[in-house]
Amino acid sequence: MTIKDYRHEQAQSADMAAAPQAGSLRLNAVRAGQALRRQAEEIAMKNAASSPENLNALSPEETRQTLHELHVHQIELKIQNEELRRSHEEMDIVRARYFALYDLAPVGYCTINEKGLILEANLTAATLLGMARSDLLKQPISRFIFNEDQHIYYQHRKQLFDTGKQQTCELRMVKNDGTEFWAHLESTEAHDANGIPVPEGRVVMSDITTRKLAEAVLQRTHNELEQQTESLRTSLTEKDVLLKEVHHRVKNNLAVIMGLIDLHGQSNDEQTRASMTELSNRIRSMSLVHEQLYQSENFARIDLQCYLDSLTAHLHSSYQSSRNIPVSVAASGIKMGIDSAVPCGLLITELVTNALKYAFPEGQTCTGAVGCEIAVSAAWDGAAYTLTVADNGVGLPADLDWTKTRTMGLLLVKMLGQHQLRGKIEVDCTSGTTFRLRFAPQIARIYE
């Protein structure tokens, strides 16, 4: 068999595979034509017997029979002609369906041989490659592969014909006018009508340029974000170091101020010493905040339990001449930002100082089973803090309106609680004295 005969036979097999209905119709038409031929020959022989020179030999009955057969044959020809016309219409429908499924497919289809030459291509493939379909035939498909991606296509085609297994790849291709585009190739081994592999490959070609461009944009955006994140991380580290140094310097400067105040507090005047001690304690409450932040990894918040433990311990030691009144703290797990911690520390300093100085005079019997006590607590409900300083001492004088008093300590409590923290203060003198402050943080970033 010659190459031409082989390809002609392959083309017939491909047509039958692509349009099985059309093949069936052709077979029926061939069989009908053969039957018609046999019938026509029979009638021709009968016509020869009834030629004019033999008409006189026919009887009337034979003449009628011959005319009847001719009439029936004429009807059969009309029926067969109608069947052939319907067969042609059905074949046209099949061809149109094949054209829509193959030529107008949203992806390019082409058939290549082992050398990579294009044997057949649909209209979509011709459009993708920028050439007329007839001009694509016998062209090597490698002609349309981007130079730097030739090795990808070589391995793709080699694996296809070596293994017979489906192969996929993504590479850059070039149209006939030089325009580059990204393509996804999916190749499979070809088979004849009997399912036997033939030395050809079916290639499905898809334009993925839009997706590749989107991926490139996403990658660039990702890289830029990574660079910005690294820059922010470096900047944040530098700011953390600077902020830690600031807290350290503030703490040291406040320590110097407290040292100077302590020197002035060594006066023989009792009132001067008391004033200097209170002033030093106030500064100490602020210094402790910076000390906590300096020692913490988080420069925005402090652990309120640790802070209040240190603060109340310092206040208790400042009044050694007073009765040994225990001060308890309950603020476990509470975090507070520096904007709130400093005024809260000052406020608690004033209330605990007042309790240590005035709530438990000599000879005073405390209420409750635990004896004399000062309790400091803090709570967070997700929206606001509640600070409580309570003692079970003698309580405030019955005729004292704490909101109108001119003493420094209570003035600071009012100023810090109502004005700076914008909270609400409640005072309960039922059993001793209880100050309760509820306020919402101004910067809502302090609790987790």
Residue 442 has pLDDT above 60, yes or no: yes
pLDDT digits (tens, 9 = 90+) for 55-108: 556 677 877 787 778 777 788 888 888 888 888 777 877 766 666 667 778 899
pLDDT digits (tens, 9 = 90+) for 129-166: 999 999 999 999 999 999 999 999 999 999 999 999 99
pLDDT the model gives residue 17: 40
pLDDT-based confidence at 19, cuts 50/70/90? very low
Residue 53 has pLDDT above 60, yes or no: no
pLDDT the model gives residue 195: 84
pLDDT digits (tens, 9 = 90+) for 391-416: 988 888 877 888 887 787 788 888 88
As a whole number of angstroms, the distance between CA 9 and CA 2 comes to 11
With a CB cutoff of 8 Å and minimum separation 6, the contacts of 6 are none
* Average pLDDT of the chain, as a whole number: 79
What are the residue ranges spanned by the domains of the chain? Answer: 14-103, 108-207, 214-295, 301-448
pLDDT the model gives residue 5: 46
As a whole number of angstroms, the distance between CA 437 and CA 413 comes to 10
Angle at 405 between CA 404 and CA 407, to 5 degrees: 145
Determine whether 397 is exposed, middle or buried from the number of CB atoms within 10 Å of its CB (0-12, 13-18, 19+): exposed
pLDDT-based confidence at 30, cuts 50/70/90? low
Single-letter residue type at 351: L
> Which residue did the predictor score with more confidence, 186 or 279?
186
With a CB cutoff of 8 Å and minimum separation 6, the contacts of 171 are 145, 146, 149, 152, 153, 182, 183, 185
Angle at 159 between CA 158 and CA 165, to 5 degrees: 140
What percent of the chain clears pLDDT 90, i.e. is strictly above it? 35
Helix ranges (DSSP H) in 187-324: 209-264, 270-295, 304-318
> Which residue did the predictor score with more confidence, 66 or 6?
66
pLDDT digits (tens, 9 = 90+) for 330-350: 999 999 887 888 889 889 988
- CB atoms under 10 Å from CB of 244, counted, come to 16
As a whole number of angstroms, the distance between CA 83 and CA 321 comes to 126
- CB atoms under 10 Å from CB of 360, counted, come to 23
Residue 50 has pLDDT above 60, yes or no: no
Cβ–Cβ under 8 Å, residues 363 and 419: no
CATH number, span 108-207: 3.30.450.20
pLDDT-based confidence at 448, cuts 50/70/90? very low
Cβ–Cβ under 8 Å, residues 409 and 357: no
The superfamily CATH assigns to domain 301-448 is: Histidine kinase-like ATPase, C-terminal domain (3.30.565.10)
pLDDT-based confidence at 375, cuts 50/70/90? very high
Residue 305 has pLDDT above 80, yes or no: yes
